[in-house]
Structure 1
Amino acid sequence: MQVNIYQGRTPSPETADITIVIDVIRAFTVAHYAFLQGAYRIFLAETVEQALLIKEKHPEYLLAGEVGGLPIEGFDLDNSPYHIKGENLKGKTLVQMTTNGVRATLNNLSSEQVFVTGFSNAKQTATFIKDNAKEKSKVNIIASHPSGDDDLACAEYINSILKGSDTVTIDEIIKRIQDSSVAQKFFDRNEPNFKEEDILLCTKELHSDFVMKVNKLSRFPMIERVNL
């Protein structure tokens, strides 16, 4: 298996058979918890305007996301896993729009298979791909934050699992996520829009029984829950 790691939300320079897009803080941790709370599917919107147009046609859908990390006016939910964890989302359809994770996913749909994850579901995602991919598959891992070490650390963790290496420990990854520049505002009491509880959830590895795969065949790309 050939694995390449790229950082940023722009299209990767090389195509692959499988792409894994990572957003630890916080988009795909939110998506993971949304499915745990019963969400049925999550559409990916490129812009706030597109998300609001989808909501116009489907008022029962819930809009979730952020711009610059902050809640979006007119959206039902923000980009906080701590808040999502308290929602009853059974059977609900979400529309997600975020600065890095969603944008990186939409820019990297050329692969035959596309998966998304945060750290919370990274082990399940990597193990699923390792067990099911063809031996000579080419895999791109996208650390969606352009400069943050949180996504890059998670990418290296996934890479180590795919290659059967034990050179990266969970404790090291958690520390890198917590110490990343992206995480620091969540520990700042002068930043009321960012909750420390989010980082606790973003660094908690869960043993859920599914991975998150992007369905590219629908009108708008959407994340679906694929049971293990």
Structure 2
Amino acid sequence: MRAIQIIQGNDHSLEASNINVVIDVIRAFTVAHYAFINGAQGIMLAGTVDEALRIKKRFPQYVLAGEIKGLPIPGFEIDNSPARLQALDLDGKMLIQKTTNGVRATLNSLNAEHVFVTGFSNARTTAAYIKRSLLKEENMTINLIASHPSGDDDLACAEYMAEILQSSDRVSTDQAITRIQQSAAAEKFYDDERPEFLREDISFCTKELPSDFVMKVNDHHDIPLIERVEVDNNAI
């Protein structure tokens, strides 16, 4: 029997597994998904601002992206808004990403044969790819990591992916979207007194996109790197 476990939070220590999928819907891995769509070549993961700046010093042509408590980081070229990202030309560029939940959770989830990251926008593609291409044995272990420690947005996405992996339909696309929209993590984006958080971001975070790639973490170098891995979209 395949063991699918949902874990919530970003500060964890996991036993070795076959597959880890780290989920950050609002907004880190939605930003990552759109960055690849907009031509990004790869995304390096930095656990702290200082580490991100050290990588930038080493590779000055790379682009700093991220947030602290949802807000832009001084000196970073890109914040954590998928809406604002649309205006940027990222063709062929490498990003350095530092975020509160998603990146931290990923760096704590590298103890697996395969590590993927996703937001809701690429969740179905990711789950379908794992189910079709990687689930070859019955005794495989899969961890779905909802990186927000308490938010229902990532948990809703994790439960949605679990249903796809198990060929069940107990959580519909619309149900998952509604939970994300109504989650505590989304509330500030609807608050007119907090214009730094764009309502439009939630639209990007809850739009399921047909994709021809998944986002896989390559941990074979000194800095973990999210790479775009092409998949057969017609088989999903």
**Does TM-score exceed 0.5, indicating one fold?**
yes
The aligned residue for residue 41 of structure 2 is: 40
1:95 positional shift: 0.2
> Residue type of the partner of 2:9?
G
5+ residue gaps, structure 1:
none
2: distance between equivalents of 1:180 and 1:118? 15
Contact 2:15/2:111, CA 8 A, preserved across alignment? no
The aligned residue for residue 28 of structure 1 is: 29
2: distance between equivalents of 1:143 and 1:35? 21
Among 132, 139, 142, the alignment partner of 1:139 is 142
Contact 2:145/2:158, CA 8 A, preserved across alignment? yes
1:12 positional shift: 4.4
**How many pairs are equivalent?**
228
Q: Which moved more, 1:86-95 or 1:128-137?
A: 128-137
The aligned residue for residue 182 of structure 1 is: 185
1: distance between equivalents of 2:122 and 2:6? 18
The aligned residue for residue 78 of structure 2 is: 77
Contact 1:6/1:12, CA 8 A, preserved across alignment? no
2: distance between equivalents of 1:13 and 1:74? 33
For each residue in 1:190-222, what CA deviation from the matched residue of structure 2 results, as whole angstroms up to 9, or x when unmatched? 101100000000000000100000000021001
1:79 aligned counterpart, secondary structure: coil
2: distance between equivalents of 1:99 and 1:183? 15
For each residue in 1:72-119, what CA deviation from the matched residue of structure 2 results, as whole angstroms up to 9, or x when unmatched? 001010000001122110000000000000000000100011000000
2: distance between equivalents of 1:58 and 1:155? 34
1:169 and 2:172 are equivalent in the alignment: yes
Normalised to the residue count of structure 1, the TM-score between the two structures is 0.98
Normalised to the residue count of structure 2, the TM-score between the two structures is 0.95
The aligned residue for residue 153 of structure 1 is: 156
1:45 positional shift: 0.2
2:121 aligned counterpart, secondary structure: coil
